């Protein structure tokens, strides 16, 4: 199904033009405290799109998605699932880092429904340009952005879903969830389940090729 664009969407025909438009975004207040916008990254021919929540501290400083600790874990899991990150379009539901100061540290704050909704139009444009065969939502925020409703990860994980625009969608956990797990056994089990979800995505793509 064709991706439906917002009626007032800017006329962008390339990812480079989209990045430029995103850099000027003031659609919600998050741009005020962020360093750089973090556009999605990857080839416009990517068949697989991964959508995270929002940039973290390192992503905010570099302007690139998933380059910090969660990104390192994601890279490892992607490779173990037999996927080449260079062929994947990696992005976030929200393009600016939302944080609060705790001493000298900038602590991640979850984006609210308004911020997710305001940023959705950039994600709709990304999908319109890349036209992925499959999107994987990493965590509940990305799933809510893509589906337009909140879902329980435990219940929807691994099932074939459809994003608001008709793109095939799978939902899995966010790599930061794995980083927060304390016990070694829990971490090992949950990491294996994460890799299995990504491997399922790879199989879906192969069978659709
Ligand atoms: N977490 C995300 O959701 N996205 C990033 O780019 C980095 C961390």
Q: Between residues 2 and 154, which one has the greater pLDDT?
A: 154
Closest CA to 142 of 48, 51, 74: 51
For ligand 1, the distance from its centroid to the CA atom of residue 137, given in whole angstroms, is: 12
**Cα separation, 175 vs 81, whole angstroms:** 14
Given ligand 1 and candidates 40, 51, 55, which is best to mutate, with the most ligand atoms within 8 Å of its CB? 55
Domain residue limits, the chain: 15-208
Taken in order 187, 48, 10, 164, is the CA torsion positive or negative?
Answer: negative
In tens, the pLDDT along 33-49 reads: 999 999 999 999 999 99
Report CA(152)–ligand 1 centroid distance (Å).
20
Q: Share the mean pLDDT of the chain.
A: 95
Give CA–CA dist 165/182, Å, rounded.
37
Whole-structure pTM value:
0.95
What's the CA gap between 87 and 110, in Å, rounded? 28
Which whole number is the average pLDDT over 60-89? 98
CA angle 108, 61, 46 (to 5 degrees): 90
Give the CA distances from residue 26 to residues 37, 68, 131, in Å, rounded to whole numbers and listed in that order: 11, 25, 26
Which of left, alpha, beta for 162 (phi over 0: left; psi -120 to 50: alpha)? beta
Q: If you measure from the C-alpha of residue 92 to the centroid of ligand 1, how many angstroms do you get, rounded to a whole number?
A: 7
For 108-150, write each residue's pLDDT tens digit: 999 999 999 999 999 999 999 999 999 999 999 999 999 999 9
Which residues contact ligand 1 via a Cβ below 6 A?
52-56, 59, 65-66, 68, 70-71, 92, 176
pLDDT for the residue 11: 77
Burial class (CB in 10 A: 0-12, 13-18, 19+), 208: exposed
The hierarchical CATH code for the domain 15-208 is 3.40.470.10
The CA distances from residue 98 to 6, 27, 146, in Å, are 24, 14, 20
Can you give the pLDDT at residue 209?
77
């Amino acid at each position: 199904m064709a991706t439906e664009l917002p009626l007032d969407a800017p006329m962008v025909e390339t990812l480079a033009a989209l990045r430029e438009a995103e850099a000027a975004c003031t659609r919600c207040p998050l741009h005020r405290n962020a360093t750089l916008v973090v556009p999605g990254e990857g080839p416009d021919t990517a068949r697989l799109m991964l959508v995270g929540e929002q940039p973290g501290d390192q992503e905010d400083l570099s302007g690139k998605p998933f380059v910090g600790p969660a990104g390192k874990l994601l890279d490892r899991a992607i490779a173990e699932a037999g996927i080449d990150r260079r062929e994947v379009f990696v992005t976030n539901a929200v393009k600016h880092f939302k944080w609060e100061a705790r001493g000298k540290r900038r602590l991640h704050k979850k984006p609210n429904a308004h911020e997710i909704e305001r940023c959705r139009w950039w994600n709709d444009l990304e999908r319109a340009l890349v036209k992925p065969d499959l999107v994987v939502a990493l965590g509940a925020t990305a799933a809510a952005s893509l589906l337009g409703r909140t879902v329980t990860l435990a219940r929807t994980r691994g099932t074939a879903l459809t994003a608001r625009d008709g793109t095939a969608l799978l939902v899995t956990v966010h790599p930061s969830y794995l980083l927060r797990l304390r016990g070694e056994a829990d971490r090992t089990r949950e990491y294996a389940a994460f890799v299995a979800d990504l491997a399922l995505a790879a199989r879906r793509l192969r069978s659709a090729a």
